[in-house]
Chains A and B, each alone.
Chain A
């Protein structure tokens, strides 16, 4: 199986499985739960990286909702220099690692996509230039902030496009996916990730409030709605479904609605065994 996520990019980015470990599912690529590893996925997306170190949000960061949760990390990361210093060797190792355990076993590498922090999109072009020369990096993922308008999205994506030849995936807020999909593709996005669920606010168990996009199974209807809307209109670039996918049936519905790949994150955190079953099923999604 080979899925091309960046068909219009000269570097391209092909997957041997449609299942992608979504942004930060395994941290920067090293924090795998029991029974899972990069070789079980078509690609992995790192946790968000910013130009400068960010301490992220103070506690509380986590609040539970019926059917999901809110997680506000505030793009906590040590900055691109330290991320590259500490992880570039691992990325090269993953990128050169053949899929073996549940992959197709055809010796294809596992691409590593670096997510750029959504809290500072004005830094994306500079960051893109730094990651352009990292041999273990196969692409970049830009997560557009909520309430991004078309001019800002076009400007940010266009700046990244001019700074790098790497495949660029743009993660859209689900509520604005219809609005932003075509302008994002026109500005240079190689694929669209659908998407970042709506924001919510909830009191945390120990006091204080958490404000963040909803995560977990509760996010799935938002993903499906945006995906279906884009599928009806037609989209000039490949679509990747992300948000609330818990099992092979969920993944298959996304593929049936026009996605070429699926990102999972919460599932790796909450139920690694279920993620392993999904990885196994995604070896042959039509059968699953």
Chain B
């Protein structure tokens, strides 16, 4: 983990969301998908807490964060800071996703904004020549990762509660078939979504085994070193500090 000043080099606005591309070579080289970066969002120490961001793009020199629609005052500061400004970043935190050796078919699945954290991993899997499927659900089409952000070879399944994209309703009816195709799964969503994923894997794969699915625990962080204990949650058989043991866990560790 390092603390560094990143230079805001690009801002992409898409409706109520923004993506900020930050140049921070030492940080970008250490960062992997699923590892959060704690970003100072304000000047003069206000707001006093950093905001937690999962990278939606990573290269050798830069990483990109996504500002989702929100009323957060820290995010509001980020929406207006000029390109060329310096932003204080602390990261990477904890353990990110890792595609296991020897897999061919990788299922990426998630919910709404959380699923954006899978994007760097999807691109990585594609460059490794793996078969990639992304299955995401959300309230409406604008919440979802758009098809144009995916590699050409990737298969995409969408579900929206309002029916504005993909199948109307939830993703759950599709999961058994997708899970039986996959050699491994990477997920980002809410805890309830992971329970459904575990049940679907149980049913379609004759049991959920360790090593099959990695999931991103939904948490925000204060210090990222484990000292503050603000992220402690009931996971992996006890009340653990998510920033040290995760935030990416094996799905079996989230089962109660």
Given contacts A33-B1, A216-B48, A217-B48, contact A76 B232 (CB under 8 A): yes
A61 within 8 A of B: yes
Q: Which residues of B are found within 8 Å of A32, using beta-carbon distances?
A: 225, 227
A71 & B222 in contact (Cβ 8 Å cutoff): yes
Docked CA distance A69–B47 (Å): 9
A71–chain B nearest beta-carbon distance, Å: 6
Instruction: Pick the residue among A59, A69, A205, A216 that contacts B233 (CB under 8 A).
Output: A59
The reply to whether the CB of B226 lies closer than 8 angstroms to some CB of chain A is yes
Q: Is A26 an interface residue (CB 8 A)?
A: yes
Determine if B99 is an interface residue (Cβ-Cβ < 8 Å).
Answer: no
Q: Say whether B237 faces chain A, with CB atoms less than 8 Å apart.
A: no
Of residues 201 through 245 on chain B, the ones whose CB sits less than 8 Å from some CB of chain A are: 220, 222-234, 239
Q: A28 to chain B: closest CB distance in Å?
A: 9
Tell me if B46 counts as interface (CB < 8 A to partner A). yes
Partner of B228, one of A34, A67, A68, A269: A269
Chain A residues with Cβ below 8 Å from B46 are: 66-67, 217
Q: Which of B1, B40, B222, B227 is A62 in contact with, Cβ under 8 Å?
A: B222
- Output the nearest chain B residue to A58 by Cβ-Cβ distance: B234
* Closest CB in chain A relative to B171 CB, distance in Å: 22
Question: Could you tell me the distance between the alpha carbons of A61 and B224 in the complex, rounded to whole angstroms?
Answer: 15
For the complex, what is the distance from the CA of A62 to the CA of B3, rounded to whole Å? Answer: 22
Q: How far is the CB of B189 from chain A (nearest CB, A)?
A: 14
Query: Roughly how many angstroms separate A32 CA and B228 CA in the complex, as a whole number?
Result: 11
Restricting to A14-43, which residues have a CB under 8 Å from any CB of B? 24-27, 31-35
Contacts of A120 in B (CB 8 A): none
Of B40, B222, B225, B227, chain A has the most CB atoms within 10 Å of the CB of B227
Query: Residue B1 contacts which of A34, A61, A68, A69 (CB distance < 8 angstroms)?
Result: A34
Find out whether the CB atom of A270 lies under 8 angstroms from the CB atom of B220: no
Report chain A residues within 8 Å CB of B230: 61-62, 71, 73
Which of A25, A67, A246, A270 has the largest number of chain B CB atoms within 10 A? A270
Q: Is there a chain B Cβ closer than 8 Å to A105's Cβ?
A: no
Contacts known (A33-B223, A34-B3, A71-B222); A270 close to B49, Cβ less than 8 A: yes
Question: Which residues of chain B are near A205, meaning CB under 8 Å?
Answer: 220
State A272–B226 Cα separation when bound (angstroms).
14
CB pair B3–A270 under 8 Å, yes or no, is no
Residue in B closest to A276 when the chains form the complex, CB atoms: B3
Q: Closest B-chain residue to A28, C-beta based?
A: B227
B76 at interface (Cβ–Cβ under 8 A)?
Answer: no
Complex-state Cα separation, A124 to B48, whole angstroms: 33
Which chain B residues numbered 172 to 208 have a C-beta less than 8 Å away from chain A?
Answer: none
Name the residue on A nearest B38 (C-beta). Answer: A270
Is B248 in contact with chain A by the CB < 8 A criterion?
Answer: no
Cβ-closest chain B residue relative to A32: B225
Indicate if B37 sits at the interface (CB-CB under 8 A). no
A276 to chain B, nearest CB (A): 9
Is A132 part of the contact surface with B, judged by Cβ < 8 Å? no
Query: Does A153 have its Cβ within 8 Å of any Cβ on chain B?
Result: no
Residues of B within 8 A of A31 (CB): 223, 225-227
Chain A positions within 8 Å of B232 at CB level = 56, 59, 61, 73, 76
Q: Tell whether A252 is near chain B: CB-to-CB under 8 Å.
A: no
Can you add 11 more A-B contacts, CB < 8 Å, to A66-B46, A270-B45? A33-B3, A33-B227, A64-B48, A71-B230, A73-B232, A217-B46, A268-B223, A268-B227, A270-B49, A272-B3, A273-B3
27 contacts between A and B (CB under 8 A): A24-B228, A24-B229, A31-B223, A31-B226, A32-B225, A33-B224, A33-B225, A33-B227, A34-B1, A34-B90, A35-B3, A56-B229, A56-B239, A62-B220, A62-B222, A67-B48, A68-B48, A69-B222, A73-B229, A76-B239, A205-B220, A216-B49, A217-B46, A268-B223, A270-B49, A270-B222, A273-B88
